[in-house]
Amino acid sequence: MSCDYTKTTQCQERTKDPLEMFHSGHLVKICAPMVRYSKLAFRTLVRKYDCDLCYTPMIVAADFVRSIKARDSEFTTNKGDCPLIVQFAANDAQLLSDAARIVCPYANGIDINCGCPQRWAMTEGYGACLINKPELVQDMVKQVRSQVENPKFSVSIKIRIHDDLTRTVDLCRKAEATGVSWITVHGRNTEERHQPVHYDAIKIIKENLSVPVIANGDIKSLKEAENVQEITGTNGIMVARGLLANPAMFAGYKETPLKCIWDWVDIALEHGTPFMCFHHHLMYMMERITSKQEKKVFNVLSSTTAVLDYLTDHYSM
């Protein structure tokens, strides 16, 4: 499968304020930023199944600003890809502002990654280490606010929590005072991976802020999303792995329907999705609906033709 990326085009709804969704009183359903996975083709798929707002994968702002090649490969969108938030990894307010100005005509806002716990990101001063640098976070929010001319362009942050939750609340209040649009809280600390999510902590953060708060972490069905919103009082729910396993989750499906699988095939082929990404998405989607023997066969297929033949033979609608 060729890698013929769709050219970046201006978002037809970029003048729409994403904040309006969070004040609608309805559950706002959000596709999380996922490295390699939340790209244009997958965003197109989940939007067909009631996803309200999508994030790009994390993009390193410094590389994005300095390299045309990085811009062309890391950020792809089209007119139907709205509303859209571009997530950046950054530790420099001016570079982040420069990156925000570049994407402003093509997106509804940017998000600052303050939650990635991977060692490389924290070593570079990105991601979750920023929850310990509230003044830097404030500076980055302030700079983007002052340098992007569109007043409806959102500036949000995605964070993890501290063991001492008062520090997290303090960080959030400082970001709020500087003009952050909303805050997404992954309810784990930087050391936790598969431990239970601290929804009680998200609830406390929400109760201490006026800006919208989004809950994130281990949500695998629409029912779970609704329950977490009820527990936390948050304005929206962000999902990562749950959507990989079932892109139709937000439409109420308990497992990936066949139509969604074939929708992915059509969208991926149309967008020229590289084979590895195309195949991996299908492996995730079919995890719950295939037997161990079927997985052994399907997961080692090595070409688009072989995958299409397999799906036609075993999963025709």
Q: Which residues pair with 157 in a beta bridge?
A: 112, 183
| Catalytic residue set | 116
**141 annotated binding-site participant:** no
**34 annotated binding-site participant:** yes
**86 annotated binding-site participant:** no
**186 annotated binding-site participant:** yes
**196 annotated binding-site participant:** no
**93 annotated binding-site participant:** no
Q: Per residue, what are the HEC states of the chain?
A: CCCCCCCCCCCCCCCCCCHHHHCCCCCEEEECCCCCCCCHHHHHHHHCCCCCEEECCCEEHHHHHHCHHHHHHHCCCCCCCCCEEEEEECCCHHHHHHHHHHHHHHCCEEEEEECCCCHHHHHCCCHHHHHHCHHHHHHHHHHHHHHCCCCCCEEEEEEECCCCHHHHHHHHHHHHHHCCCCEEEECCCCCCCCCCCCHHHHHHHHHCCCCCEEEECCCCCHHHHHHHHHHHCCCEEEECHHHHHCCCHHHCCCCCCHHHHHHHHHHHHHHCCCHHHHHHHHHHHCCCCCCHHHHHHHCCCCCHHHHHHHHHHHCCC
**134 annotated binding-site participant:** no
Annotated binding-site ranges for FMN? 33-35, 87, 186, 240-241
Annotated binding-site ranges? 33-35, 87, 186, 240-241
